[in-house]
Amino acid sequence: MYNKDNVFAKILRGEIPNKTVYSDDNVLAFYDVAPRAKVHVLVIPRGEYTDVFDFTQNAPVEVQTAFWQGVRNTVEKLGVRNNFRLVANTGHGAGQSVMHFHVHIMSDERFVEEF
């Protein structure tokens, strides 16, 4: 069950500041407050979904498509197209601390290779 008091909901409402990397009608991407890589950015949908399965089961397909396009736009803006990890911690056992679906983009080098 989604709780509107979670910290990412507050960020989306503008109640907590963030360092935005990318933003559009469907997603917000911002730097993680406690980075664990040289580049550590979170991407969240603007809709209310608790985790990856809530999102993939309940978000309209066009919302899901727009989310992944937002992830791609963020990766390209960061310049890490060929060197990043994408992580979705799911459940408290895996360390999911914010129950608003999010993916972590983590990269230790900025390296873009044309191919």
102 as an active site residue: the answer is yes
Binding mask 58-87 for ligand DGP (x = CB under 6 A): ------------------------------
- Asked if 50 interacts with ligand DGP (CB under 6 A), we say no
Instruction: Mention every residue, 6+ apart, whose C-beta is less than 8 A from residue 78.
Output: 21, 39, 41, 84, 105, 107, 110
User: Strand, helix or coil at 57?
Assistant: helix
Look at the alpha carbons of 91, 95, 96, 102 in this order and tell me if their dihedral is positive or negative: negative
Determine the interface stretch with ligand DGP among 28-36, 66-74, 76-84, 107-115 (rule: CB under 6 A).
Answer: 28-36
Q: List the structure tokens of 52.
A: 């990856």
Kindly list the catalytic residues: 102
Q: Provide the binding-site residues for ligand DGP, judged by CB under 6 A.
A: 7, 16, 18, 30-34, 42, 89, 95-98
